[in-house]
A and B are shown apart, each in its own frame.
Chain A
Amino acid sequence: MIEILSFGLNNLSSVKNGLEAVGEKQVRIISEASQSQQPDLIILPGTGHFGAVTRELSSRGYSDLIDAAYSRGTSKIFGICLGFQLLFDTSDESPGEKGLGLVAGRVHKLSQHDGCQERVPRVGWAPILSNGAETVFHDALGSDVYFSHSYYAVPEAPQPHSLHSPHCKDKILVGFLGERIGGFQFHPERSSKAGLTLLATISKWSDSEA
């Protein structure tokens, strides 16, 4: 069973529809921690503003819910877009606010340094690439997926099944999948067929034993 956390600010129906399209039969949307029923997977979705959402994480009891689920290993955690950024410690978007800190690292503003033609927000379609290692996402590698972000996460250590995407002359981290935690910077529910393939991989991961 999968639970998607609502902050009242975002489009959750597309994520739910996407999961159902790849065969997930039990997907619930909850709007506060007390409604949680110990799911196999908690999805932290979102668009929005880091600071606005960290306040909701607290006021809806989600921080405690996620911390407990993660430390006891009772639910896996998966973040999408802003939800992906919230897994880390802090974000330049809201200095002083804390993310969940489940992955050591910080979120920085995408830069437009000289010579870089890319515009920010980074909106549109770009490919996902691996670093060459074997990856559970092998069937979607090289596909374009849909992004819409102005910030990107930099982990302190390499993450398992890491996905990267080009920005200027660099590659930024846009996804990973660990034993109990993972996330995508892009929107799989808005990434057409490649997105469904990726959601199917997450669905399978949510069913497997940690």
Chain B
Amino acid sequence: MKPRIIPTVLTDGTSQVKGTEFNNWRTVGHVLSAVRVHSARDVDELVLLDVKATLQGRTIDRELVAEASKELRIPLTVGGGVSSVAGFAELLAAGADKIVIGTATGEAPEFISELASEFGSQAIVCSIDSIDDSRKSVCVRSGSVVKHIDPVALAIRSERLGAGELLVQNVSRDGKMGGMAFDLFSAVSKAVGIPVIGSSGAASAEDFIKAFDAGCSAVACGAALQFTDSTPNQIKAHLRKVGITVRH
């Protein structure tokens, strides 16, 4: 399969937001405007996450997902506060193709098995939110709770329980465009047979190249595609120069 570049759009439930280290959220615009820009660029896929949902005891808004889905002719992956089979089903019916499971991945892993037997693994993306590069801990609940689990062990457990893909994030690198956790990507990719989406800290085409080399099937990218003049197509031009075959 061709390596994918996936823009990430974050929301607090009302507006589009950006932050650093899963915190320091600031409003940067309207979610649907960002979705339209990415749609016009015909990106490989879009990730839309509600970063306040779990903390506020709700799920990402179904209407927002439906509106975003209507704008897109490419796959849509959404997440934020999904903790029930009914909630998962509602988001699929609203137009999501895949759903990110964050908190439950770390706290209630049996939920992943429940989802897999209902919906099949391919709709389930488990988020592994590593605190930093040390492989000692992960976080849940939008970064507010730390659990002392090795992210690689969490990745292996999630695959066994039925995850279809893994989204590997890194709190210390989030939002900073300072480079990605390539060693972590490599360790996770070697430990599982399912696709790994590397995230957090992508700044330049070099980061994408290194992430794919480390075994990622896709790279999810927020800040670099939001605050710099890089576009996915420009990044793809660089990838082609070094022999990586990408879509288009």
Check A187/B121 contact, CB under 8 A, given A9-B92, A124-B218, A125-B247: no
Shortest distance between the CB of B56 and any CB in chain A (Å): 25
A104, CB-defined interface residue at 8 Å = no
Q: Is A144 within 8 A of B93, CB to CB?
A: no
Please give, as numbers and ranges, the residues of chain A lying within 8 Å of B72 by CB-CB distance: 190
Considering residues B2, B4, B44, B247, which has the most beta carbons from chain A within 10 angstroms of its beta carbon? B247
Q: Is B2 within 8 A of A144, CB to CB?
A: yes
Q: Kindly list the 3 A-B residue pairs having the minimum CB-CB distance in the complex, ordered from nearest.
A: A124-B1, A49-B120, A121-B122
Please give, as numbers and ranges, the residues of chain A lying within 8 Å of B164 by CB-CB distance: 121, 123, 148, 150
CB-contact partner of B69 in A13, A52, A195, under 8 A: A13
Q: Is B69 within 8 A of A123, CB to CB?
A: no
The A contact surface, by secondary structure, is mixed
B194, CB-defined interface residue at 8 Å = yes
Shortest distance between the CB of A20 and any CB in chain B (Å): 11
Q: Is B1 within 8 A of A126, CB to CB?
A: yes
Q: Which residues of A contact B (CB under 8 A)?
A: 8-14, 17-18, 47-49, 52, 82, 93, 112, 118-126, 144, 146-150, 187, 189-193, 195-196
Q: Is A47 within 8 A of B122, CB to CB?
A: yes
Please give, as numbers and ranges, the residues of chain A lying within 8 Å of B196 by CB-CB distance: 119
Selecting from B7-15, B26-34, B95-103, B226-234, the interface stretch reads B95-103
Interface string of B83-116 (1 = CB under 8 A from A): 0000001001111111000000000000000001
Report how far A9 CA is from B88 CA in the complex, Å.
Answer: 9
Shortest distance between the CB of B155 and any CB in chain A (Å): 13
Q: Is B95 within 8 A of A120, CB to CB?
A: no
Please give, as numbers and ranges, the residues of chain A lying within 8 Å of B42 by CB-CB distance: 192-193
Shortest distance between the CB of A32 and any CB in chain B (Å): 16
Which residue of chain B has its CB nearest to the CB of A81? B122
Report how far A120 CA is from B70 CA in the complex, Å.
Answer: 28
B178, CB-defined interface residue at 8 Å = no
Shortest distance between the CB of A154 and any CB in chain B (Å): 19
Q: Is A121 within 8 A of B121, CB to CB?
A: yes
Which residue of chain A has its CB nearest to the CB of B124? A121
Report how far A39 CA is from B31 CA in the complex, Å.
Answer: 38
Please give, as numbers and ranges, the residues of chain B lying within 8 Å of A189 by CB-CB distance: 73
Report how far A126 CA is from B97 CA in the complex, Å.
Answer: 17
Please give, as numbers and ranges, the residues of chain B lying within 8 Å of A122 by CB-CB distance: 1
Which residue of chain A has its CB nearest to the CB of B75? A190
Q: Is A121 within 8 A of B73, CB to CB?
A: no
Q: Is A192 within 8 A of B74, CB to CB?
A: yes
Interface residues of B in 201-216 (CB under 8 A from A): none
Please give, as numbers and ranges, the residues of chain B lying within 8 Å of A147 by CB-CB distance: 1
B200, CB-defined interface residue at 8 Å = no
B195, CB-defined interface residue at 8 Å = yes
Check A190/B95 contact, CB under 8 A, given A123-B217, A124-B218: no
Report how far A121 CA is from B193 CA in the complex, Å.
Answer: 9
Shortest distance between the CB of B151 and any CB in chain A (Å): 18
Report how far A8 CA is from B92 CA in the complex, Å.
Answer: 9
